[in-house]
Amino acid sequence: MENRTELDSLGEFELINHLTQYFVPQHETTLKGVGDDAAVLATGGSTDQVVTTDLLLEGVHFDLMYTPLKHLGYKAIAVNVSDICAMNATPKYVTVSFAVSNRFSLEAIEELYAGMQIACEKYGVDLIGGDTSTALHGMTLSITAIGEVYPEKVSYRSGAKLNDLLVVTGDLGAAYLGLQVLEREKEVYKATPSIQPELIGYDYVLQRQLKPEARVDAIQFLDDLKVTPTAMIDISDGLSSEIMHLCTQSELGCDLYEAKIPVSPDVQRVAEEFHLDATTCALNGGEDYELLFTISQSDYEKIKGSPHFTVIGHMTEKVSGPRIITRGNEAIALRAQGWNAFNA
Ligand code: ADP
Ligand code: MG
């Protein structure tokens, strides 16, 4: 009898590792292949090239019942640019491929592209190609982003050193709460279509969910401050799971201080309304697209005055593992509850 292993018996990362384990890079120019936010390729010139790709599926990654197509176009570019930023690189080019059913009109796809164009202008990237197809059902988007970075500035997930400080940009948890608001109003609408959605007072969390920004600005601030992160990752799946990636790949542990996690007053308020803990939203929520990075302690003076960066912990010995130090001063092992493509 043939073996059959269910895909959801593996995590997303186990699956990727399993499938790619026997692909050995054949070119010396492949400086980093599978396993980071983007691949890094030597060009022979003064900069290396970084490449990343993301797939966005209707019904899995976005719901067109509450996602305006213009916002979707913007977000699709932003999330790819975010992975370029996570390498401490500058985004330059994107390719955009899509497949849509005849449910969509030209005007609808124009809206999608209008959002993409705004993002391309904002992030300084050129649309250089793609592919277009009809589909039996729904909408699928596939975007590839290419950027460049000076070899001495590239930040891998694996570069953190013992005692390095753990730093995050912006604030966390809002995108997840924005999704909760949208899902709630969708249920209300499904039950009673005549009721207008109640979205007033939720501007911040909705904007964070529907129109996230890639932190190209933070990469520039770091450059201005002459700080090169020792390791970096973008927060797409939640702080907890991204910290675990940094720890695993850097072969270290880390102490994260709950009290230091940046959470906006809006997140506090909306979390309470949903009977959720704001820290849990920040740890496990995902889709904030902020940057999580480590710096040498000697760089602390350079970033400490900046409103864009918050030190939330430090790297420890591997045996300690990734831990969260609660407000009550208890050390608890971090668990990754990041978004999992197969059993979400
Ligand atoms: P991110 O969340 O930063 O976009 P992912 O979790 O999607 O990163 O992917 C982790 C790593 O695995 C990346 O280096 C990505 O290129 C690689 N990867 C993901 N899916 C595949 C696949 N099907 N084949 C080869 N590599 C993959
Ligand atoms: Mg990433």
Q: Hey, which of 16, 18, 40 would you mutate to test ligand 1's pocket, going by the most ligand atoms within 8 Å of its Cβ? A: 16
Question: Is 24 a domain residue?
Answer: yes
Neighbours of ion ligand 2 (CB under 5 A): 37, 83, 234
Tell me, yes or no, whether 183 and 306 share the same domain. yes
Question: Is 76 a domain residue?
Answer: yes
Ligand nearest to the Cα of 83, by number: 2
In a 3-state reduction of DSSP, which class is residue 312? strand
Report pLDDT for 339. Answer: 47
Q: Whose CA is nearest to atom 19 of ligand 1?
A: 16
pLDDT tens-place string over residues 47-71: 999 999 999 999 999 999 999 999 9
CA 248 – ligand 2 centroid, Å = 15
Boundary (domain end) residue, out of 153, 180, 205: 153
Boundary (domain end) residue, out of 130, 153, 176: 153
Residue 102 CB-density burial (10 A; 0-12 exposed, 13-18 middle, 19+ buried)? exposed
Tell me, yes or no, whether 185 and 319 share the same domain. yes
Question: Does the beta carbon of 164 sit less than 6 angstroms from any atom of ligand 1?
Answer: no
H or E element that contains 93: strand 90-100
Question: Is 339 a domain residue?
Answer: no
Question: Does the beta carbon of 15 sit less than 6 angstroms from any atom of ligand 1?
Answer: no
For residues 265 and 201, the answer to whether their CB atoms sit within 8 Å is no
Report pLDDT for 198. Answer: 82
Report pLDDT for 337. Answer: 65
Tell me, yes or no, whether 189 and 116 share the same domain. no
Question: Does the beta carbon of 331 sit less than 6 angstroms from any atom of ligand 1?
Answer: no
Question: Does the beta carbon of 236 sit less than 6 angstroms from any atom of ligand 1?
Answer: yes
Structure tokens at 27: 């070119």
Tell me, yes or no, whether 241 and 274 share the same domain. yes
Question: Is 192 a domain residue?
Answer: yes
Question: Does the beta carbon of 37 sit less than 6 angstroms from any atom of ligand 1?
Answer: yes
Q: What is the CATH number of the domain that holds 320?
A: 3.90.650.10
Q: What is the Cα–Cα distance from 8 to 201, expressed in whole angstroms?
A: 38
H or E element that contains 205: helix 203-210
Q: Whose CA is nearest to atom 11 of ligand 1?
A: 35
In which domain, by residue range, is 131 found? 7-153
Question: Is 1 a domain residue?
Answer: no
The whole-number mean pLDDT for each consecutive block of 10 residues of the chain, a chain of 344 residues, reads 87 92 96 97 96 97 96 98 98 98 98 98 98 97 98 98 98 97 93 86 96 98 98 97 97 98 97 96 96 98 96 98 96 74 44
Tell me, yes or no, whether 143 and 170 share the same domain. no
CA-nearest of 329, 331, 344, 325 to 287 is 344
Boundary (domain end) residue, out of 119, 153, 187: 153
CA 186 – ligand 1 centroid, Å = 31
Tell me, yes or no, whether 13 and 141 share the same domain. yes
Ligand nearest to the Cα of 338, by number: 1
Question: Does the beta carbon of 35 sit less than 6 angstroms from any atom of ligand 1?
Answer: yes
Tell me, yes or no, whether 170 and 261 share the same domain. yes
Tell me, yes or no, whether 72 and 210 share the same domain. no
Question: Is 343 a domain residue?
Answer: no
Question: Is 197 a domain residue?
Answer: yes
Tell me, yes or no, whether 234 and 313 share the same domain. yes
CA-nearest of 267, 272, 269 to 285 is 267
Q: Give the list of residues 6+ apart from residue 122 with CB closer than 8 angstroms, or none.
A: none
CA-nearest of 56, 87, 46 to 64 is 56
Q: What is the CATH number of the domain that holds 19?
A: 3.30.1330.10
Q: Hey, which of 21, 31, 34, 156 would you mutate to test ligand 1's pocket, going by the most ligand atoms within 8 Å of its Cβ? A: 34
Q: Give helix 106-123 / helix 69-85 axis angle, nearest 10°.
A: 30
Tell me, yes or no, whether 92 and 173 share the same domain. no
Ligand nearest to the Cα of 30, by number: 1
Q: What is the Cα–Cα distance from 210 to 185, expressed in whole angstroms?
A: 15
Question: Is 159 a domain residue?
Answer: no
Q: 101-105: which pairs have CB atoms within 8 A and are 24 or more residues apart?
A: 101/134, 101/135, 101/136, 101/137, 101/138, 101/139, 102/134, 103/138, 104/139
Tell me, yes or no, whether 132 and 229 share the same domain. no
Q: Give helix 174-191 / helix 265-273 axis angle, nearest 10°.
A: 40
Ligand nearest to the Cα of 291, by number: 2
- The total of structural domains in the chain comes to 2
Tell me, yes or no, whether 35 and 131 share the same domain. yes
